[in-house]
Structure 1
Amino acid sequence: MTLKNKTSFFATALSLLLVICSSCGIYSFSGTTISPDIKSMSIQTIENSTGEGPSNLTDIVTTTFKNYYRRNTNLTVIQAEGDLQLAGQIVSFTYSPAAIEREGQQDQASLNRLTLGIQVRFTNTKDPQKDFDRLFTISENFEGDVDITQIPAASITSMTERLVTDVFNKTVADW
C-alpha cells in the first residue's frame, strides 16, 4: 500500500468512527449516557442534618456536586426544575475506631475511620424508571492519634469527590 493509500484509508476509517459515535446521540467520551432531550440538571443544597463535621460541610458537598456535573456533562446546572433533579442530605459524619490495639493495660485505637453518608433523591423527569432514593457512603481511615479536628480539609474534600463520583455514575453513567 502506498503512503497516499494508507493516508486515505486512515482518514476514511476515522471519519466512519466519528459518524458511528455521534449518530447514536446518547454516548459521550466521558462515559455518560444522557438522552439528547435532557438539557438541564437541578442540584438542591445538600444540607447537613447531622450537626457534625466542619461548619462548611454543606457548602463543600453542594459545590462539589455542581462542579462535577458541570465538568463532566453538557447539562446546564440550575437551582430547580431541571430535567434531572438531585436533592439530598448529609445523614452521617462519624469518626470511630476502625482497629484496636492493646497498649499495656489499655485498649487504644490504632486506626480511626471517618464515614460520610449522603441520602440522595434523584428524579429523571424524562424517564421516571431511573428515579431512586438511596444512601451513598464513603469512608477513609486515619492514624489512631489523629483527632477529628485534625483531619485536613483536603481529606474531606477528597472523600466528597469520591462520593460524588459514585452518585454521578449511578445518575448519568448508568453504572
Structure 2
Amino acid sequence: MRSITNSIALLLLFSLTGCGVYSFTGASISPTVKTISIGTFYNNATLGPSNMSVVFTEMIKDYYQQNTSLTLVDENGDLQLDGYIADYTITPVSATASGNNDQADFSSMSRITITVFASYINTQDDEFDFERKFSFFVDYDQNSTDLSSEEQQFSEEIFDQIILDIFNASVANW
C-alpha cells in the first residue's frame, strides 16, 4: 500500500514539473527566465490626462511584479517590454433627440478609447516576440457624468484591461 502511495505522489510530482513554471495567474514562464525590463510607455496621444504615461508605466510594472516571480530590472531583462500610448479618443456612441425643433439632437453616451502599442521580446525564445496594438474602451453617460472628474478613473479602468491583455499575450501565451 505504501509503495502505491509513493508511486502516485511521484507521478503527480513529475506531471506538475513537466510543464515548466506555472502560476495561478496563468503565467507560463520558462524556469530560465528570471528578469523583466519594462520601459517607459510614452504618451503619443493628443488627448487624455497628462499623466497617462506615468500611470500606465507604473501600473504595468506593478502587475508583472504582483503576478510573476520575475525580478524587475532597468534594462536587458530576459523579457523586455516597452511601447507607447498611441491614441486616446472620445466618440459619440448613441444619439438622443432633443425633443425641440429649435435645438439640435445630441449624444447622450460617449466612449473613451485608449490604444497602446506594445513591443515584447523574449530573449530566451523569440517565438513569443510581438509588436502590436492593444485597445479598450469605457462608455459613459454625458448627462450624468462630469468627465473632468471621472476621466482619470476611466483611464485606469481601460489600462487595467489593456495590461491584462498584454500580460496574457506575453507570459500567459494566450
In structure 1, the residue matched to 2:162 is: 163
Q: How does 1:98-113 map to 2 (within 5 A)?
A: 98-104=93-99, 105=101, 106-113=104-111
1:155, CA displacement in angstroms? 2.6
Which residue among 120, 123, 127 is the counterpart of 2:118?
A: 120
1:84, CA displacement in angstroms? 0.8
Aligned to 1:53, the other structure's residue is in SS state coil
What's the TM-score once normalised by structure 1's chain length? 0.86
Cα distance in 1, alignment partners of residues 98 and 9 from structure 2: 65
1:82, CA displacement in angstroms? 0.7
- Percent identity (aligned): 34
1:69, CA displacement in angstroms? 0.3
- Residue deviations 1:26-77, cap 9 Å, x none? 3222211111111111100000011321121111100010000000001111
Q: Give the letter for the 2:139 counterpart.
A: N
Cα distance in 2, alignment partners of residues 40 and 13 from structure 1: 34
1:18, CA displacement in angstroms? 4.8
The answer for unaligned runs of 5 or more in structure 1 is none
> Does structure 1 conserve the Cα–Cα contact (< 8 Å) formed by 2:96 and 2:107?
yes
Q: Give the letter for the 2:135 counterpart.
A: T
1:91, CA displacement in angstroms? 0.7
Q: How does 1:59-98 map to 2 (within 5 A)?
A: 59-98=54-93
1:15, CA displacement in angstroms? 7.1
Cα distance in 2, alignment partners of residues 103 and 127 from structure 1: 58
Deviates more, 1:13-22 or 1:74-83: 13-22
Call closer, same or farther: CA 1:127–1:166 in 2, change over 3 Å: same
- Residue deviations 1:72-101, cap 9 Å, x none? 001111221111111100011111111112
Cα distance in 2, alignment partners of residues 110 and 29 from structure 1: 41
In structure 2, the residue matched to 1:132 is: 130
Q: State the Cα RMSD in Å.
A: 2.2
> Does structure 2 conserve the Cα–Cα contact (< 8 Å) formed by 1:88 and 1:119?
yes
Cα distance in 2, alignment partners of residues 12 and 68 from structure 1: 39
1:23, CA displacement in angstroms? 4.1
Aligned length: 169
What's the TM-score once normalised by structure 2's chain length? 0.86
1:143, CA displacement in angstroms? 0.2
Q: Give the letter for the 1:63 counterpart.
A: E
In structure 2, the residue matched to 1:150 is: 149
Call closer, same or farther: CA 1:23–1:107 in 2, change over 3 Å: same
